[in-house]
Amino acid sequence: MTKRPTVVPLLMLLLGACASTPDVRTYTLDLRPAGAAQVDRRVRVERFVPTEALDRSEILVEASPTRVEHYATDRWVSSVGDQVRAKLAAELGATAAGGAELVIGGRVLAFGQVDGESGPSARVSLAIVVRDAGAGRAEAPLLERTYDVTRPAEGGLPEAVVVGLSRAMEAIAAELAADLAAL
């Protein structure tokens, strides 16, 4: 009696697993400036550090006040911190050439879908710190504020969530620009 090699069944099993792998979709925020954030100073947007739950490529879903999930096949094209930095830079980018430069950075506290009674929405919460470019970290910041904006996620998910996150970021940029004008 001859022994049959087990390589063929294993190979068939592996090929079957590969054939059933779902397509991964990648997303980025809409980086076109909305034009609502007008700043009369030079602005440099630096690093935004996401919380641990946001520090991954999958889009976050707050399924309930006590449960967090992530989309299985929907991912960010770059880190959440990079997405926030790029969007704020795009919104605040057309700044005046003169004057003191302001440096903006902070933490990403919330960035994703929130499921509620009225359906899904997109929520962004940023703890933003603004300093003069020449100021050291030991000096008090010019501005330290948490911005929290929620927008509806209308239409098909998760793309609608990404559009909602883009609009929430535009609203935060407009609020931030108004705060910078008051400095």
Residue 16: pLDDT over 80: no
- How crowded is the C-beta side of 83, counted as CA atoms within 13 Å? 30
Cβ contacts of residue 32 below 8 Å, gap of 6+?
90
pLDDT in tens, 112-152: 999 998 889 999 999 999 999 988 878 999 999 999 999 99
How much of the chain, in percent, has pLDDT values that exceed 90?
A: 70
| Angle at 63 (CA atoms; ends 57, 69), nearest 5 degrees | 30
pLDDT at 18 over 80: no
Closest-CA residue to 25 (of 152, 151, 166, 162):
162
DSSP E strands in 79-171: the ranges are: 101-116, 119-132, 143-152
